[in-house]
A and B are shown apart, each in its own frame.
Chain A
Amino acid sequence: MNFNLYRKELKRNNKNLLIWMSIVIGFTIMVLAIFPYMAEMGESLAMMLDKIPAELAKAMGMDAQTWSSILGFYSTYYGVYIIVLVSIFTTSTATVILSKEERDRTAEFLLTRPVSRLAVYTSKIASLLTLSVAVFAVQTIIAIIFIHLFKTNDIDWNLFSRLQFGGFFLMLLFTSIGVFLSMVISPKKNLMGLVVGITFGTYILNALGKSTEATEWLSYLSPFNYFDLSISNPGAPLQYFAAFTVLIICAVLLVISYKVYSKKDIAS
């Protein structure tokens, strides 16, 4: 770990962090601020929900509670707006944090300083983790504040914790996939399309899988399936096994990525 490099990486990414933080905060506030108006519409919304095809309602995680409590409302949009957006930021940053030095040909400068490739790698991953945790933590704090502001009844904070817990580990997983992809795909390729495809695509895959029994198998292919991002099971424990599995997968992806990085020829 090299703190000179770590600090520089944070500084280099601070503009991007602020932009994405603003987007995620904006969406969080928007979703929560709409809730009081939706709650006021009460019965008419419940009737509307009845008219939505059952498959679509299941796919979107909507049920009777969805629009009657702020947490239910938040959970409907949490996966698609918050996790996907946060993950697009962290994963796209992950795909360039090492490869940008190669693409911009600054890797020659960096790797001729007295610093090992392991130190370069760990410093960059540490800065990536810091950025990811920062954006996630700010989103969580904003969500707590605005849930307090707009709540219409008591909040089950355990449910909220479970949502955020799942979101955090999904973000870590996508971020590690981003690091791995940047090591196995040419640094000259822009991976933003692939990043959006993977994060949003796996969300859609899970939604499709949940819509009917015939397509249920699809959801097994999506990491979203392994974390409960709905409020339909109050009192259910945190999904530690899924979190542990994600950590193992992240560790494997990061170790393989380092092995590739440590043997990489740095083109002039």
Chain B
Amino acid sequence: MKTENIDGSNAIVVHDLSKNYGKDIGIKNVSFEVKTGEIFGFIGPNGAGKSTAIRTILGLLQANGGSAEILGLDALTQGDQLRQQIGYLPSEVHYYNEMNSRELLEYSAGFYENVNLSLIDELADYYDLDLKKKIADLSFGNKKKCAIIQSVLHEPSVLILDEPTSGLDPLMQNRFFDMLEKENKKGVTIFFSSHILSEIQRMCSRAAVIRNGEIVAVENIQTLLEKQMKKVRVVFARETNYNLPAGAQHEKSNGNKLSFEYVGKVNTLLSWLASHELHDAVLEEPDLESIFMNYYER
């Protein structure tokens, strides 16, 4: 994990980017920078504005203010040149139902310069995709595989991924992550948007956190993890007196059962658990909303 090949320059610079839908705010003053060769996470709950930010950067939505620069080009005005070097994987895949996968991929390749068409078969084998099947007959997961292939077929310098693993089974998710690591080793910058924290943890060294259309933090993943609240549920072997570890809050107890929320170093928590005789212990990853509440409470 985290095999990034980062150089000092910025591949993506977004500054005060805003998009409104009439009176409703889509995103507001979104700013972040992604270094060349970095795998950068973009995390937030559903409806936080992740897709709106991506779609505005890609020119699908008209920005109401701010700027976005990718590989030194203005993404809002030079998008057509820029997209020659960008691979985009959307969260929801909608293709031409009358085509089969091969036709779709060849059609997509036709927009780019010097595409190696043999990659279509190579990648289809890797992802177990039947290229003869009509798009209309493909499952959501298979459409996603087709989308993955089209996003890398022209060997882009920057990959923009929006909820890339939705619809993929665990085996395909692992193949996908392996492919991303290989692409990143070749120097590809990856912008990885997801609402699944564990994916961001696995792939990224830094992430921007977005909530209600605004960036609430741009953090190293390590810092994000330390701020991450865990839900702890334990069953003591017998009713016992205990002192909660530092960082525990919202304690609830019932006989020999205890639950609380914990923010802090995981080793401290494990030491505390080890010092008690327990029948059971469960550590749960909190939902994203709880993590964001942590940011606001601090």
Residues of A that sit less than 8 Å from B by CB: 2, 4-5, 8, 12, 104-109, 111-116, 119, 263-266, 268
Q: Check if B166 is an interface residue, CB within 8 A of chain A.
A: no
Interface string of B41-64 (1 = CB under 8 A from A): 000000000010001001111100
Report which of B83, B96, B98 forms a contact with A114, defined as CB distance below 8 A. Answer: B83
Question: In chain A, what residue has the closest Cβ to B89?
Answer: A112
Give the complex CA separation of A166 and B245 in angstroms.
88
Give the complex CA separation of A4 and B154 in angstroms.
15
Of B59, B84, B88, B96, which is in contact with the most chain A CB atoms at under 10 Å from its CB?
B96
Report which of B62, B91, B97, B110 forms a contact with A4, defined as CB distance below 8 A. Answer: B110
B interface residues, tally (CB under 8 Å): 28
- In the bound complex, residues from chain A placing their C-beta under 8 Å from that of B111 are 2, 4-5, 113-115
Provide 7 A-B residue pairs closer than 8 Å at the C-beta atoms, listed in order of the A residue: A12-B98, A104-B96, A106-B95, A112-B88, A115-B111, A116-B80, A268-B55
Q: Check if B2 is an interface residue, CB within 8 A of chain A.
A: no
Interface residues of B, dominant DSSP: loop
The answer to whether B95 and A109 touch across the interface, beta carbons within 8 angstroms, is yes
Report which of B59, B96, B97 forms a contact with A111, defined as CB distance below 8 A. Answer: B59
The answer to whether A113 and B83 touch across the interface, beta carbons within 8 angstroms, is yes
Q: In the complex, how many angstroms separate the beta carbon of B202 from the nearest chain A beta carbon?
A: 26
Give the complex CA separation of A2 and B94 in angstroms.
21
Question: In chain B, what residue has the closest Cβ to A120?
Answer: B80
- In the bound complex, residues from chain B placing their C-beta under 8 Å from that of A114 are 80-84, 111-112
The answer to whether A113 and B90 touch (CB under 8 A), given A106-B95, A108-B60, is no
Q: Check if B108 is an interface residue, CB within 8 A of chain A.
A: yes
- In the bound complex, residues from chain A placing their C-beta under 8 Å from that of B97 are 104
Question: In chain B, what residue has the closest Cβ to A110?
Answer: B111
Q: Check if B251 is an interface residue, CB within 8 A of chain A.
A: no
